[in-house]
Amino acid sequence: MPVTVRIPTPLRPLSHGRDSVQLAGATARQVLESLERECPGMSSRICDERGELRRFVNLFLNEEDVRQLNGLDSPVVDGDILSIVPAIAGGAPGFDRALLGTRD
Amino acid sequence: MATTIKELMSEIRTRVKEATTTEVKARTQSGEPLVLIDVREPDEVDQGHLPGATHIPRGFLELRIEALAPDRATPIVAYCAAGNRSLLAAEGLQRLGYKNVVSMSGGFNRWRDEGNPVVVPRRLSEADRRRYSRHLMIPEVAEAGQIKLLQAKVLLVGAGGLGCPAAYYLAAAGVGTLGVLDFDKVDESNLQRQILHTMDRVGTSKTESARRTLLGLNPGINVIPIEARLTSANVESIFQDYEIIVDGSDNFPTRYLVNDACVLLKKPNVHGSVYRFEGQVTVFHPPAGPCYRCLYPEPPPAELAPSCADAGVLGVLPGVVGLLEAVETVKLILGAGESLVGRLLHYDALKAEFRTLRLRRDPKCRYCGDGVRFPGFVDYEMFCANPASVAH
């Protein structure tokens, strides 16, 4: 049983509308790499140029913030749920653009 | 031969000690473990009593004193309105074996007339008893809780999609003072979710519209409209008058100002946000849990938001999330249950799923971290040159 990654609404255009994706990997980072292969463009929204989580995005392994664990190197096992939780200001203009980004 | 009341009182005075109001005052201030008993009837006590007094009507005194003071050596001062009933009461206590009882001469009336401190207990009026009867039936609320609600001061930041339902139910619950902050005017497109406003108020101020609806529902509360945009210059002076801040804003600059001011002023920040079919609710109140910056140290940079397109939201969703904020607010006021401090409640309307994620305080947080000095407020640039509203 692979790891389930929950995709927040603002990133669903990159996951072809899917709210979750089943992926393989031994660490959170490997799962995000699988996510990038499955949904190109996703990792740059979640991680910065150095490959670390952006400051306005949190990643939870089950109920726990991965920053409280081993960060992106936290080990994951089959059946785990990784939730991408971006800062949500609300319905303000520009919010989804902020996460989706248009730098490229 | 029959005894007159005058003769009886004189006779009792030979056996029961009396203390003057001045002596009682000195004893209450001395730190002595004194039991002060008000033996008057309930309607008299409602008009005011001595600070720290326990109320036992004279008729119940002998029956209830043991629960209050099992030790017969306990120092006790009894008082009534003028010093007669308390003399009889003190005699009754002596008969039960209490050795250290005095009656305060002159009673409450002399105490009050001399300008000594008096506590007037807050009681619900008959009208309030009717209005809040369903609260009074719940042990977690009851009269004491309803009085707390009526005395509470809550500020709603934003009279929009989140603020409207939260304010509506907080007003219904009898939260006594509701500040409503918004700078915007009612727009027709707001009415899909902003339920305090009405079609005939399109173009008028949201705070005034909110005030009218809230007072229409509950004229017994105080609604303070604050027609302003929250800035680093006004946030502290606006927040200082309130005990709980309910964040119903919809933009990052306001959310960071709300967070930073709540950290500085040590006020709980009831946080809700919505996006399309998803909602999040939590309570930020360091050091018991994190602040917003522990989770998201900085807002997304403005250059990542080059254009201004309104994000949509299912109209009912801010209703759900705003009401969850109202529930958390009421719980904080009552001190009931477990608040969402340290937990993020996530609601997925399409899946009909609630999940909770654990949130931890960052001890190195620049705002609420251990031993940090408050770094000051930041006026972040609005993502959009002409933001639609402070609220959804």
Considering only B118-127, B251-260, B293-302, which range has the smallest mean pLDDT?
B293-302
**Which candidate, B107, B84, B94, places its Cα nearest to that of B10?**
B84
Give SS3 for B119: strand
* pLDDT greater at residue B392 or residue A42: A42
B313 and A55 in contact by Cβ < 8 A?
no
| B140 belongs to a structural domain | no
Min distance A90 CA to chain B CA atoms (Å): 4
Which residues of chain B are within 8 Å of residue A101 when distances are taken between CB atoms? 304
Q: Answer with the one of B113, B131, B162 that is the final residue of a domain.
A: B113
| B121 belongs to a structural domain | no
Q: What is the pLDDT of residues A17-67, one digit of tens each?
A: 999 999 999 999 999 999 999 999 998 889 999 999 988 899 999 999 999
Task: For residues B91 and B217, state if they share a domain.
Answer: no
**Residue of chain B whose alpha carbon sits nearest to that of A86:** B296
Query: For position B311, what pLDDT does the model report?
Result: 67
Single-letter amino acid code for the residue at B298: E
Q: Is residue B362 scored above 70 in pLDDT?
A: yes
Among B255, B309, B358, select the one facing A89 at the smallest CB separation: B255
- Number of domains chain B contains: 2
Local confidence band at B220 (pLDDT 50, 70, 90 cut-offs) = very high
DSSP H helices in chain A:
28-38, 42-46, 95-100
Strand partners, A27: A75
Q: What is the pLDDT of residues B134-189, one digit of tens each?
A: 999 999 999 999 999 999 999 999 999 999 999 999 999 999 999 999 999 999 99
Q: What do you get for the CA distance between the two ends of chain B, in Å?
A: 85
Among A58, A90, A99, select the one facing B392 at the smallest CB separation: A90
Task: For residues B171 and B86, state if they share a domain.
Answer: no
- Number of domains chain A contains: 1
Give me the DSSP letters along B216-270.
HH-TTSEEEEEE----TTTHHHHHTT-SEEEE-B-SHHHHHHHHHHHHHHT--EE
Q: A55: domain range?
A: 3-100
Query: For position A94, what pLDDT does the model report?
Result: 43
Task: For residues B95 and B187, state if they share a domain.
Answer: no
| B142 belongs to a structural domain | no
| B66 belongs to a structural domain | yes
Task: For residues B107 and B172, state if they share a domain.
Answer: no
A94 and B299 in contact by Cβ < 8 A?
no
Cα–Cα distance for residue pair B179/B373, rounded to 1 Å: 29
Task: For residues B206 and B288, state if they share a domain.
Answer: yes
CATH number at residue B187: 3.40.50.720
Among B303, B310, B357, select the one facing A91 at the smallest CB separation: B310
Query: For position A91, what pLDDT does the model report?
Result: 54
Query: For position A86, what pLDDT does the model report?
Result: 86
| B145 belongs to a structural domain | no
Between strands B278-284 and B269-275, the pairing is antiparallel
DSSP H helices in chain B:
5-13, 21-29, 42-45, 61-68, 85-95, 107-113, 126-131, 133-136, 142-151, 163-173, 206-217, 235-239, 252-265, 292-295, 317-334
Cα–Cα distance for residue pair B104/B24, rounded to 1 Å: 7
A56 and B300 in contact by Cβ < 8 A?
yes
Among B274, B276, B357, select the one facing A83 at the smallest CB separation: B357
Mutation for A interface: B357, B382, B390, most A CBs within 10 A:
B357
Query: For position B299, what pLDDT does the model report?
Result: 83
| B341 belongs to a structural domain | yes
Task: For residues B20 and B74, state if they share a domain.
Answer: yes
Per-residue pLDDT, averaged over B211-223, amounts to 98
What value of ipTM does the predicted structure carry?
0.86
Q: Is residue B389 scored above 90 in pLDDT?
A: no
| B298 belongs to a structural domain | yes
Task: Show Cβ contacts of residue B98 under 8 Å, excluding neighbours closer than 6 positions.
Answer: B65, B69, B72, B74, B76
Q: Give the number of other CB atoms < 10 A from CB of residue B121.
A: 12
A98 and B300 in contact by Cβ < 8 A?
yes
Which residues of chain B are within 8 Å of residue A89 when distances are taken between CB atoms? 249-252, 255, 273, 299
Cα–Cα distance for residue pair B155/A17, rounded to 1 Å: 38
CATH number at residue B55: 3.40.250.10
Q: B246: domain range?
A: 152-358
CATH number at residue A51: 3.10.20.30
Give SS3 for B151: helix
| B215 belongs to a structural domain | yes
